[in-house]
Amino acid sequence: MIPRAVPRRLVRPVTLLRVAIILGVLAIWEGLAVSGLLYRDVVPRLPVIAAALWKLSVTPDTWWHFWVTGQEIGAGLIIGGLSGLAAGLVLGANRLLGRAFEAYLYYLGPTPKIIFLPVMIMWFGVGFGSKIAMAALSCFFPIALSTASGMRQIDKVLIRVGKSFRLNAWQMTTKIYLPAMRAPVVNGIRLGLGVALIGALLAETRLSSQGVGFLIINAYSVFDMPRMYAMLIVLFVLAIGANALIARLGGPNTNP
Amino acid sequence: MTPFPLRDRVLPLALGLGTLVAAIAAVEILIRAGIINGFIVPLPSDVAMSFGKLIGEENIAERFRATFLEAFIAGAMITVAGVLLGLLLYRVALLRAATETWIAALASAPTVLLYPLFLVIFGRSASTIIMMGFVAGLPPVILKTIEGLAGTRAVLINVGRSLKLTPTQQFTKILLPAALPTIFVGIRLGLIFTLINVVGVEFLINFGGLGQLINDLFERYELSETYAAICFVILVSVLFFVITERIERWLRPAE
């Protein structure tokens, strides 16, 4: 799903249209907010959301919650990512193991991971542990599958070069395999980050007393809609930004 | 047919299944030996026995029907809306150039986190679940519809023009059949996202079918039944992926 580049002759009209769409959506929103057609609190006025966004950004407590969620996602990504990378390398390097186990990863990968939350709570408790486990479980599958697929796409000449230099398994991994499959691995990490974020945040919305997910569900519980919109805006901007940043690291072959 | 069917087919299958069975047996032994806490991980044999209770007492068929219905409605909605929006963007090049990257960004955005917002708008009801499934599954259908239509070979479009087909005929006789395999890839991806979100939101808002069942069982701390329900959802999901994958292969034109 790679959107094509905008042709040069269309750049100016496209920019104008984008600005027009954004302004149009904001105008409709503001119109709905002041019209009274919908509940005022469900669709708050834009200045109210902007004020909530400002208040959120100057409250140190907010950034502490972001820090908590960031730690959970980071730890999950390290655990799930390294396990996924190792599993992908093994499955990609060995044809028999790949054929025996990759189908399980392929079909288990897209199952809804949130249903494992009860199990993770029982295994790791209601605190940090279960959120990290949810993030790790979520990101393991895309990273393992991308790595295994990347291993199989490595140019055979590179592998023969490594073998002719008598590289050991560690040197083959660090000097040949990983550099040669940067794009698929980075793509896997990008996908993994997205699902790790969802895993950790959904777990926080379900059972937690800290983190961004907790803040969102807390704003819902006390019906503070401007704060909830502000949280969601910040979260979406950060998630889409992180996704684009990782895609850039992978070079031109990484799907955006 | 492969030249070494035993090595290429049977051996990997036996190794995969054998490892799975061995792992389950190892867990059973470790729990019975007291090495794994039986209050956290139930005996696999108990989990297997619990399927009977799920069918008899927990009315799993009704739960499955509720989840299926929600996923089906959301799936129908993403198919209709996604294909129409994809067609619109294919026809209006400027609109496509302006919005395609936004739709791609939306496809990778954590839209499921909008569920508290949908709860406020639609209440704790099936509508929230269906709309969450719709929002999550829509972007891939739009993107793949555009890709499929834009990828129609020029020679086919020229044949349509030379036969002086009307725009409707051009769409139904040329564009749609040529783009159908790619569109179905998008619908399949969309359905996967929809199913994930439907079950996930059912679990999170404690309403609906299979997702709520897992939540209910966990809150009652019925351990083996909770694990059995999770296994059931995984089996349903895997079955769904296999069926849609087969349809996708069937629609794909021969190389």
Three-class SS string for A130-148? HHHHHHHHHHHHHHHHHHH
CA angle A172, A78, A218 (to 5 degrees): 160
Q: Do A21 and B93 touch (CB under 8 A)?
A: no
Q: Do A112 and B94 touch (CB under 8 A)?
A: no
pLDDT in tens, A41-53: 788 888 999 999 9
Measured CA to CA, the distance from residue A114 to residue A118 in angstroms comes to 9
Chain A residues close to B227, C-beta within 8 Å: 119
Q: Do B199 and A236 touch (CB under 8 A)?
A: no
Tell me which residue range forms the domain holding B12: 5-41
Chain B closest CA to A191's CA: distance in Å?
Answer: 8
Chain A residues close to B141, C-beta within 8 Å: none
Instruction: Give, for all 255 residues of chain B, the pLDDT tens digit.
Output: 445 566 677 888 898 899 999 999 999 999 999 898 888 899 999 999 988 888 888 888 888 899 999 999 999 999 999 999 999 999 898 898 888 888 888 887 888 888 888 888 888 889 999 999 999 999 999 999 999 998 888 888 888 888 888 888 888 888 888 888 889 888 988 998 899 889 989 988 888 888 889 998 988 888 899 999 999 999 888 888 888 888 878 877 655
Domains in chain B, number: 2
Pair (B109, B24) in one structural domain? no
The pLDDT assigned to A253 comes to 52
What share of chain A in percent tops pLDDT 90? 25
Q: Token digits for B255?
A: 């190389």
Measured CA to CA, the distance from residue B142 to residue B149 in angstroms comes to 11
- Interface test mutation site (partner A, options B21, B92, B101, max chain A beta carbons within 10 A): B101
Pair (B223, B126) in one structural domain? yes
Pair (B11, B103) in one structural domain? no
Q: Do B12 and A240 touch (CB under 8 A)?
A: no
Least confident interval from A56-60, A99-103, A243-247: A243-247
- The CATH number linked to B57 is 1.10.3720.10
Q: Do B97 and A119 touch (CB under 8 A)?
A: no
Q: Which of B101, B108, B218 sits opposite A194 (nearest CB)?
A: B108
* Interface residue A236 vs chain B (CB under 8 A): yes
Nearest to B149, CA basis, from B75, B92, B74, B78: B92
- Mean pLDDT calculated for residue range A181-197: 86
Pair (B26, B130) in one structural domain? no
Q: Token digits for A206?
A: 């379900």
- Interface test mutation site (partner B, options A4, A66, A115, A190, max chain B beta carbons within 10 A): A115
Pair (B83, B161) in one structural domain? yes
The pLDDT assigned to A240 comes to 83
Nearest CA in chain A to B242: A107
Q: For tokens 């009209």, what's the residue?
A: A13
Chain A residues close to B98, C-beta within 8 Å: 14, 17-18, 21
- Interface test mutation site (partner B, options A1, A90, A121, A187, max chain B beta carbons within 10 A): A1
Pair (B12, B92) in one structural domain? no
The pLDDT assigned to A10 comes to 67
Q: For tokens 């794009």, what's the residue?
A: A183
Chain B residues close to A107, C-beta within 8 Å: 237-238, 241-242
Chain B residues close to A219, C-beta within 8 Å: 116
Q: Which of A4, A111, A243 sits opposite B108 (nearest CB)?
A: A243
Q: What is the DSSP string of chain B?
A: --S-HIIIIIHHHHHHHHHHHHHHHHHHHHHHTTSS-TTTS--HHHHHHHHHHHHHTS-HHHHHHHHHHHHHHHHHHHHHHHHHHHHHHHH-HHHHHHHHHHHHHHHHS-GGGGHHHHHHHH-SSHHHHHHHHHHHHHHHHHHHHHHHHHTS-HHHHHHHHHTT--HHHIIIIIIHHHHHHHHHHHHHHHHHHHHHHHHHHHHHHT-SSHHHHHHHHHHTT-HHHHHHHHHHHHHHHHHHHHHHHHHHHHHSPP-
The pLDDT assigned to B6 comes to 63
Q: Which of B97, B107, B113 sits opposite A235 (nearest CB)?
A: B113
Pair (B127, B193) in one structural domain? yes
Chain B residues close to A110, C-beta within 8 Å: 192, 196, 237, 241
CA angle A232, B99, A241 (to 5 degrees): 40
Pair (B32, B72) in one structural domain? no
Q: Is the ipTM of this complex over 0.85?
A: no
Q: Which CATH superfamily is domain A67-249 in?
A: MetI-like (1.10.3720.10)
The pLDDT assigned to A256 comes to 46
Chain B residues close to A217, C-beta within 8 Å: 116
Pair (B145, B229) in one structural domain? yes
Pair (B23, B134) in one structural domain? no
Pair (B199, B228) in one structural domain? yes
Show which of residues 170-189 on chain A sit within 8 Å of chain B, judged by CB atoms: none
Q: Which of A115, A123, A216 sits opposite B113 (nearest CB)?
A: A216
Chain A residues close to B27, C-beta within 8 Å: none
Q: Token digits for A18?
A: 């984008």
Pair (B220, B117) in one structural domain? yes
Does this model's pTM top 0.90? My answer is no
